[in-house]
Amino acid sequence: MNGHRLLTAERETRILQLLRGRRTLSVAEFGEELDVSEATIRRDLQSMADRGLLQRVRGGATLDPSSHVEPMFADKEGKQTAQKQAIAEAALALIEDRDVIYLDGGSTVLSLAQLLERRSDLTVVTNSLMAAAALMESGHRLILVGGTFRALSRTLVGPLTAPMIESLSVRKAFMGTIGFTVEDGLTTTDEGEAFTKTEIMRRADHVVLLADHTKLGLCSFARSEGTIDTLVTDRLESRMKDTLVESGVKIVLANRTK
């Protein structure tokens, strides 16, 4: 035994890491790697399968190559880097000195957090530990939303975030997402994260979605209630653009914003 019992979130993170390396593993292999019982592994795998994080197969689990499984945060940081930076720059133009803003989780929103030194006297509310770390020495007023730690996204999520969020009002909420469609809005792989996104969208005067083109048209497991006011992206299919504009959503194309 290794002397440290992994929490459920930690086990799920390790399960996805293992599957990315080998695609398919048996229950016994997971148990050996994580040093937990096969009964625990079976419960974890079933829960993750129910949320669309993996696919159950006889005796184990695999990653379905056709599914939209949420990557590890470190993996997300290395994808669509130029597009995310352009989106962050475009989003920064929507922030004024002394603004009161919310920063959601996600690598694109983190790119925005890293640019906030160009603004002064902000009040920044966030559930992202990565964004908070980036802003620790910024001089901005920083408020962390408490909640259950989600290792995969490095965010604080779930019902425990509600009392804090309900006591606040923010001018602009900058949101990340796993997927976005006109019909379903923001969707993610975790119901706790979807819950927290819903709560903050209700308390924001203006909701801004930061999403590169690979997120658009995709639908994940858990839906957040609420609508967006602005979409900042690098590329947008004309049919979706027309539909969003007709519904009152402002479109900002990052590759045209200087």
Residues in the chain predicted with pLDDT less than 70, given as ranges, are 1-6, 9, 21, 64-80, 256-258
Q: Note whether 43 and 123 are same-domain residues.
A: no
| Domains in the chain, number | 2
Identity of the residue numbered 180: F
Q: Note whether 98 and 201 are same-domain residues.
A: yes
Question: The tokens of 158 are what?
Answer: 């779930």
Predicted local distance difference test score (pLDDT) of residue 152: 83
Sign for the CA dihedral angle at 113, 212, 158, 229 comes to positive
Give residue-wise pLDDT tens across range 137-159. Answer: 999 999 999 999 998 889 999 99
- Which letter, b or e, does each residue of 161-181 get, where b requires 16 or more Cβ atoms within 10 Å of its Cβ? bbebbeeeebebbbbbbbbbb
- Which letter, b or e, does each residue of 60-90 get, where b requires 16 or more Cβ atoms within 10 Å of its Cβ? bbebeeeebbbbebeebbeebeebbbbbbbb
Q: Note whether 126 and 197 are same-domain residues.
A: yes
Predicted local distance difference test score (pLDDT) of residue 257: 41
Residue where a domain stops, chosen among 37, 62, 87: 62
Full residue range of the structural domain in which residue 245 is found: 74-256
Q: Note whether 211 and 99 are same-domain residues.
A: yes
Q: Report yes or no on 92 lying in a domain.
A: yes
Q: Note whether 131 and 189 are same-domain residues.
A: yes
Predicted local distance difference test score (pLDDT) of residue 71: 54
Question: The tokens of 2 are what?
Answer: 């290794």
Give residue-wise pLDDT tens across range 22-42. Answer: 778 999 999 998 989 999 999
Q: How far apart are the first and last CA of the chain?
A: 55
Question: The tokens of 219 are what?
Answer: 């639908």
Give residue-wise pLDDT tens across range 224-242. Answer: 999 999 999 999 999 999 9
Q: How far is residue 208 from each of residues 174, 197, 217, measured CA to CA in Å?
A: 5, 12, 17
Which residues make Cβ contacts (< 8 Å) with residue 213, sequence separation at least 6? 83, 233, 234, 235, 236
Predicted local distance difference test score (pLDDT) of residue 65: 53
Q: What order do you get walking across the sheet with 24-26 strand by strand?
A: 24-26, 60-62, 55-57
Q: Report yes or no on 67 lying in a domain.
A: no
Q: Note whether 45 and 81 are same-domain residues.
A: no
Q: Note whether 91 and 22 are same-domain residues.
A: no
CATH number at residue 28: 1.10.10.10
Model pTM? 0.73
Predicted local distance difference test score (pLDDT) of residue 3: 42
Count of H helices and E strands in the chain?
10, 15
Q: Report yes or no on 1 lying in a domain.
A: no
Question: The tokens of 225 are what?
Answer: 């209630």
